[in-house]
Amino acid sequence: MVETDQLDEYILEHIDEEGEYLHRLYRATHTQLLRPRMASGHLQGRLLKMFVRMVRPKNILEIGTYSGYSALCMAEGLEDGGKIYTFEINDEQEDFTRPWFENSQYADKIDFRIGDALEHLPEMDVMFDLAFIDGDKRKYVDYYNMVMQHMSAGGYMLADNTLWDGHVADPAYDKDAQTVGIRAFNDLVAKDDRVEKVILPLRDGLTIIRKK
């Protein structure tokens, strides 16, 4: 039986390279930041770029910038005139992340905003064709309800970590706040007739939602 690590390596050898800049960002994320596992990384980053290529959005929303890895991958897939608005609630993250955006070739496509997306999104007069939800797992239901109001018809929402390391289906995690948050989100999306949805068991689970 082939080991998961071997298969992961095989996959990375047979998909697009992440590129030198993102590789350096990923390394810097691991050497300079706490909780580096939060960053998307090579496989998910290429997938996000591919989604952007498929959807061809004009405006993208991201909730949860962290080191900027996923935002840069999505910016890479944007066509001329496209923009990604990415929110990060932790102001201590700004000194690390902003230079990585500004020194990248996608600086003019990225609007990086420090603040709580839940607070600032209602003030924005922008409709999104693609949204990547990757903030606080306890708040996924709130993000969903708010982002739905800012999604164009036919737009896509991607929600990360929706299997939460399998905890969503494990009764041992019934009292864990993040698991409870993700389960509530999954239940809400499952019964929402306004959307089509599918869960990809990639990494921690990625839900793809299409607004009808």
Ligand X SMILES: C[S@@+](CC[C@H](N)C(=O)[O-])C[C@H]1O[C@@H](n2cnc3c(N)ncnc32)[C@H](O)[C@@H]1O
Nearer to ligand X, 18 or 134 (CB): 134
Query: Which residue in 121, 128, 188, 124 sits closest to 155, CA to CA?
Result: 128
Q: Which residue is nearest to ligand X (CB)?
A: 64
* In the complex, least distance from residue 93 CB atom to ligand X, rounded to whole angstroms: 6
Instruction: Tell the burial category of 132 from Cβ atoms under 10 Å away from its Cβ (0-12, 13-18, 19+).
Output: buried
Nearer to ligand X, 84 or 89 (CB): 89
Nearer to ligand X, 88 or 129 (CB): 88
> b/e for 157-191, b at 16 or more Cβ within 10 A?
bbbbbbbbeebbeeeebeeeebbbbbbebbeebee
* In the complex, least distance from residue 126 CB atom to ligand X, rounded to whole angstroms: 16
Strand partners, 111: 85
Structural contact between residues 70 and 97, judged by C-beta atoms closer than 8 angstroms: no
Residues that bind ligand X (CB under 6 A): 38-40, 63-64, 66, 69-70, 87-90, 93, 116-118, 134-136, 139
* In the complex, least distance from residue 3 CB atom to ligand X, rounded to whole angstroms: 25
Nearer to ligand X, 63 or 151 (CB): 63
Helices (H), 57-212: 69-77, 94-102, 117-120, 140-148, 177-190
* In the complex, least distance from residue 143 CB atom to ligand X, rounded to whole angstroms: 7
* In the complex, least distance from residue 57 CB atom to ligand X, rounded to whole angstroms: 16
Nearer to ligand X, 84 or 117 (CB): 117
